[in-house]
Amino acid sequence: MPRRVSPLKRPDRPYLALGLEGSANKLGAGIIQHLPDGSSKVLSNVRHTYVTPPGEGFLPRDTAQHHRDWAITVINDAVKKANVTMNDLDCICFTKGPGMGAPLQSVALVARTISLLYGKPLVGVNHCVGHIEMGREITGAQNPVVLYVSGGNTQVIAYSQQRYRIFGETLDIAVGNCLDRFARVIGLSNDPSPGYNIEQEAKKGKRLLPLPYATKGMDVTLSGILTSTEAYTLDKRFRTVDSEEEDIFTPADLCFSLQETVFAMLVETTERAMAHIGSREVLIVGGVGCNERLQEMMGIMASERGGKVFATDERFCIDNGIMIAQAGLLSFRMGFRTALNESRCTQRFRTDEVHVAWRA
Binding site residues, as ranges? 127, 131, 148-152, 180, 195, 199, 291, 319
CB of 68 to other proteins, least distance (A): 5
Q: Which residues, 6 or more positions from 102, have their beta carbon under 8 angstroms from its beta carbon? A: 60, 61, 63, 64
Residue 170: DSSP 8-state: B
DSSP for 226-273, please give it: HHHHHHHTTSTTB-SS--S-SS-B-HHHHHHHHHHHHHHHHHHHHHHH
Check residue 209 and give left, alpha or beta (phi > 0: left; psi -120 to 50: alpha).
Answer: beta
Is 110 near other proteins (CB under 8 A)? yes
Is 76 near other proteins (CB under 8 A)? yes
Is 193 near other proteins (CB under 8 A)? no
Nearer to other proteins, 75 or 298 (CB): 75
Is 81 near other proteins (CB under 8 A)? no
Contact between residue 194 and residue 180 where contact means Cβ atoms under 8 Å apart: yes
Residue type, 174: A
In angstroms, the CA 15 to CA 13 distance is 6
Is 83 near other proteins (CB under 8 A)? no
What 3-state class would DSSP assign to 42? strand
Nearer to other proteins, 11 or 60 (CB): 60
Start-to-end CA span in the chain (Å): 14
Residue 6 CB burial class (10 angstroms; 0-12, 13-18, ≥19):
exposed
CA distances from 277 to 119, 167, 239, 321 (A): 44, 10, 46, 31
CB of 214 to other proteins, least distance (A): 35
> Which residues are part of a known binding site for a divalent metal cation?
127, 131, 148, 319
Is 106 near other proteins (CB under 8 A)? yes
Is 207 near other proteins (CB under 8 A)? no
Lay out the site mask for other proteins across 31-70 (x = CB under 8 A, - = otherwise): ----------------------------------x--x--
CB of 197 to other proteins, least distance (A): 32
Nearer to other proteins, 73 or 162 (CB): 73
Nearer to other proteins, 8 or 86 (CB): 86
Nearer to other proteins, 76 or 142 (CB): 76
- H/E stretch holding 62 reads helix 60-82
Nearer to other proteins, 105 or 143 (CB): 105
Q: Where are the beta strands (DSSP E) in 90-162?
A: 91-97, 122-126, 145-149, 154-160
Pairing of strands 281-285, 308-311: parallel
Is 125 near other proteins (CB under 8 A)? no
Nearer to other proteins, 70 or 336 (CB): 70
Lay out the site mask for other proteins across 333-352 (x = CB under 8 A, - = otherwise): -------xx-xxx-------
In angstroms, the CA 132 to CA 114 distance is 26
From candidates 114, 265, 282, 285, binder to other proteins by CB under 8 A: 114
Is 85 near other proteins (CB under 8 A)? yes
Is 213 near other proteins (CB under 8 A)? no
Contact between residue 259 and residue 202 where contact means Cβ atoms under 8 Å apart: yes
CB of 347 to other proteins, least distance (A): 12
Is 112 near other proteins (CB under 8 A)? yes
From candidates 10, 59, 83, 118, binder to other proteins by CB under 8 A: 118
- 49 - beta bridge partners? 26
Interacting residue ranges for other proteins, rule: CB under 8 A: 65, 68, 71-72, 76, 85-87, 105-106, 108-110, 112-114, 116-118, 340-341, 343-345
